[in-house]
Amino acid sequence: MEQPRLYMAPIKGFTDHTYRNTFAEHFGGFDLAVSPFIASKRDNKIKKKYVKDVLPENNTGLPVVPQILSKTGKDFITLANYLYDLGYGIVNWNLGCPYPMVAKKKRGSGMLPHTDMIQGFLDNVIPGIKGTLSIKIRLGWHSKDDIFRLIPILNQYPLEELIIHPRTGIQRYDGEVDLEAFGQIVSMINIPLVYSGDIRTFEDFKKLSRRFDSVSRWMIGRGCLANPFLPFAIKTGGEEIQGRIRKIKHFHEALFEKYSILLDGPSHVLNKMKGHWCYISSPFTDCKKTVKKIKKTRRPDQYLELVNLFFETEAKWPYTEGTAFK
């Protein structure tokens, strides 16, 4: 069986270059990451601060594929070629973002019902860009009919790969992934596929990889934010990992230190770190009171004191090799 190739999913507000690099240093397992999207602009002048997250000098820990959100071919080409000139060979087009503020503008998954618009976009973009293109896509906006109308069209283009999250846009992240539809796509598409969606445990991965044995590329998002050992477990077949609590604590300390250098002022640092606690705390039980205190604190020293208390006295990794990884 081919060794799985693992992708860190783009999650806006979480998987920025600081997180990606720090994750790679402390946990490993991922082969590459797709960055949270950069929206194309009509202004042809692209400032470095706008693409800071994907500048090569900021991505030394994990290879990254920049992702662009756009519905206009000309604007996409301008930004994509800027990124190719930075040294990237591939960029990703976002046809998956499910949030209404994006979708109502016919961007992300909101563009999926408009088959002719997508075809026109690709007809314009493919010959105009200096490198190759991948697409991250959902089944559709309201209906999975969208993807099945698109497949014959997508098969006509020299796309690098297609990353498919088998939900519709209106589902966002609710309900079940449609594995039946994904299986149909596998049989119809002639583009390399990446599966994305609800890989939370090694058991999830094993079930999916057995069902779709021709797929060797897998994207993990919220599953790795909650269980950062998951990519390594997949790569090693569930190898025993010692000192999990200590490793998470050290990762948290490194992330806090890096954000303290990069972000402007303690309130920004604390807000950033508190956002991560919805995932950091999710595997643990009987810690709601402490986590609530962590999220309420407004001083870095109090925050660190509470976090240290959590890791040293309360945190107990709930999974055993028999349930989480095997």
pLDDT digits over 124-177, tens only? 999 999 999 999 999 999 999 999 999 999 999 999 999 999 999 999 999 999
13-22, 34-43, 143-152: least confident range: 34-43
pLDDT in the model for residue 1: 58
pLDDT bucket at 112, cuts 50 / 70 / 90: very high
137: which strand partners? 95, 164
Provide the number of structural domains found in the chain: 2
Query: Helix, strand, or coil here: 132?
Result: strand
Q: Are residues 120 and 207 in the same domain?
A: yes
pLDDT bucket at 319, cuts 50 / 70 / 90: low
Res 44 pLDDT > 90: no
Res 242 pLDDT > 80: yes
Cα gap 203→240, rounded to integer Å: 15
Q: Are residues 105 and 173 in the same domain?
A: yes
Q: Are residues 227 and 102 in the same domain?
A: yes
Q: Are residues 219 and 249 in the same domain?
A: no
Q: Are residues 250 and 295 in the same domain?
A: yes
Query: Which of residues 212, 236, 260 is at a domain's end?
Result: 236
Q: Are residues 39 and 163 in the same domain?
A: yes
Place of tokens 């909101």: 110
Token pair, residue 215, equals: 């797929």
Res 325 pLDDT > 50: no
Mean per-residue pLDDT, 221-228 = 94
- Domain range enclosing 168: 5-236
pLDDT in the model for residue 211: 97
Q: Is 285 exposed, middle or buried (0-12, 13-18, 19+ CB in 10 A)?
A: exposed
Mean per-residue pLDDT, 1-21 = 94
Q: Are residues 149 and 292 in the same domain?
A: no
Mean per-residue pLDDT, 263-278 = 94
Q: Are residues 83 and 215 in the same domain?
A: yes
Q: Is residue 319 part of a domain?
A: no
Query: Which of residues 206, 236, 266 is at a domain's end?
Result: 236
Mean per-residue pLDDT, 308-314 = 85
Res 81 pLDDT > 60: yes
% of residues, the chain, pLDDT over 90: 84
pLDDT in the model for residue 320: 46
68: which strand partners? 38, 93
Q: Are residues 170 and 304 in the same domain?
A: no
Are the beta carbons of 232 and 223 closer than 8 angstroms?
A: no
Q: Share the mean pLDDT of the chain.
A: 93
Q: Are residues 203 and 108 in the same domain?
A: yes
Cα gap 294→154, rounded to integer Å: 47
pLDDT bucket at 291, cuts 50 / 70 / 90: confident
Res 107 pLDDT > 70: yes
CA angle at 209 for the pair 21 and 93, rounded to the nearest 5°: 50
CATH number at residue 194: 3.20.20.70
Mean per-residue pLDDT, 2-25 = 96
Q: Are residues 191 and 275 in the same domain?
A: no
Mean per-residue pLDDT, 63-86 = 97
CA angle at 223 for the pair 198 and 273, rounded to the nearest 5°: 140
pLDDT in the model for residue 150: 98
pLDDT bucket at 317, cuts 50 / 70 / 90: low
Q: Are residues 180 and 263 in the same domain?
A: no
Please, what's the b/e burial string for 231-261 (b: 16 or more CB within 10 A of its CB; e: otherwise)?
bbbbbeebeeeeebeebbbebbbbbbebbbe
Place of tokens 């407004």: 298
Query: Which of residues 210, 236, 262 is at a domain's end?
Result: 236
Q: Is residue 58 part of a domain?
A: yes
Q: Is residue 320 part of a domain?
A: no
pLDDT bucket at 288, cuts 50 / 70 / 90: confident
Cα gap 66→80, rounded to integer Å: 9
Q: What φ, ψ does residue 94 adopt, rounded to 5°?
A: -85, 110
Mean per-residue pLDDT, 66-93 = 97
